[in-house]
Amino acid sequence: MDISGFIKRADTVWEIPPRAGMRVPAVIYASEALLRDMDDKVAEQACNVASLPGIVGASYAMPDAHWGYGFPIGGVAAFDPDEGGVISAGGVGFDISCGVRTLLTGLRREDVTPHLEKLAEVLFRTIPAGVGSTGRIHLGLQEMDAMLRGGARWAVQRGYGEPADLERTEEGGCMEGARPEQVSARAKKRQQDEMGTLGSGNHYLEIQHVTAVFDRPVAECYGLAEGDVVISIHCGSRGLGHQIGTEFLKEMAVAAARYGIHLPDRELACAPLHSPLGEAYLGAMRAGINCALANRQIITHLAREAFRQVFPEASLPVLYDVSHNTCKMEEHEVAGRRRTLFIHRKGATRAFGPGHPALPADLRDAGQPVLIGGSMGTASYILAGTTESERQAFSSACHGAGRAMSRRAATRKWQGRKLVEELAHRGILIRSPSLRGVAEEAPGAYKDVSRVVDAAHAAGLARKVARLEPLVCIKG
């Protein structure tokens, strides 16, 4: 990226002042090296977002930012509905409420190492993964609507997990205000056999071990120590979320002119929050969030079933579950005044700091766990939200490494079978229904996640707590 148009505010804070239609600045959090490595489209898209009606503060991009649909992936933007603020399906993304859930196992690496092959096989057999994968749950229309209203709470009520899981899940496992009637019949049909499945792309279930602890008191609060084994689940709302995004983007693009909204890029299609279309999308999007929360809850239940075939006494409590493709109504302080805003986080994670009332009581002093996913053969991280992040970017942080090359380019450079063999030599077992999918998600196709996390830490978006490395990866 050409960085000549940026003003360097700090070592990891870069700003483009308002210009040519921008209502607010565009701010990118990154080291200089990360910024230079980003595609020019990241800055272009961040500036385009800064031109949308009702935007507050700035248009932000996280250290893992890369080109996306309309908004950059890693984009964060807040809108005030009382000042003409909008909601954008492209600012949420197609995989609504894609996120990460981490489970504690109470086991050490030396406990599981002799059993990794068996664990890999039972998890791969138990949890469907891949394009078009379907599970053992079939939802009729009535149950579909109940799931879309109830999220993970619905799943627990149906026997998929425990009430304690909900205490460690964002929104208590259920996004209020969901309107299943705004979700099309086609979207529901796509989802009726996909609950409890990982899907494809960068989604995964990993057995990981803690290889470093950076903040011991917070790690102890989270139940983490070096050598501990955890399980992380990364997935979202599958076909239902994608269909919601597809349909509303088309409708918003057509309606923009009617609402008097000038779009610098058609992919920024949006509607006023105070409009029938904006409210309809908000209700459908919230239903999509509940779908993703229910999906990760069911996968949690399946993972416990599989894990107990090898370790019958394992309980696998939830450390935390947080999404990174959402738009949520939150209260934030702006210029000394509390305001109710709608925060788009696309490929960005909520990162509430210590003391925030939305956090579970036993995590409140430490701050929210921020779960940063790696890519098959790379590290993942657990961070903690900071008080400083509130004024930096509406309590937001990065969500992963961010792609460095397209999936097509990755398949030209790597072969899936060879990658599986190379990772096995490193002690990482891969199970996937698609070798092409493995090649598309090659670790080298992503940025260095450690550099991304270091930038987020240096900027004060979140602070490092622990590094995790994979032992088994069930890849979609």
Amino acid at the residue 168: R
Give me Rg for the CA atoms of the chain. Answer: 21
Query: Of 301, 399, 425, 457, which is the active-site residue?
Result: 399
C-beta separation of 461 from 392 below 8 A: yes
Distance CA(279)–CA(168), nearest Å, equals 28
Contact criterion met (CB below 8 Å) for 66 and 402: yes
Cα–Cα distance, 231 to 234 (Å, whole number)? 10
Determine if residue 320 is left, alpha or beta; phi over 0 gives left, psi from -120 to 50 gives alpha, anything else beta. beta
By the 8 A CB rule, do 128 and 198 touch? yes
Burial of 39 (0-12, 13-18, 19+ CB in 10 A): middle
CB 101 within 8 A of CB 318: yes
Contacts of 254 (CB under 8 A, 6+ apart): none
φ, ψ dihedrals at 398, nearest 5°: -70, 175
CA angle 246-252-256, nearest 5°?
155
Task: Judge whether 115 counts as a catalytic residue.
Answer: no
Question: Which residue numbers are catalytic?
Answer: 399
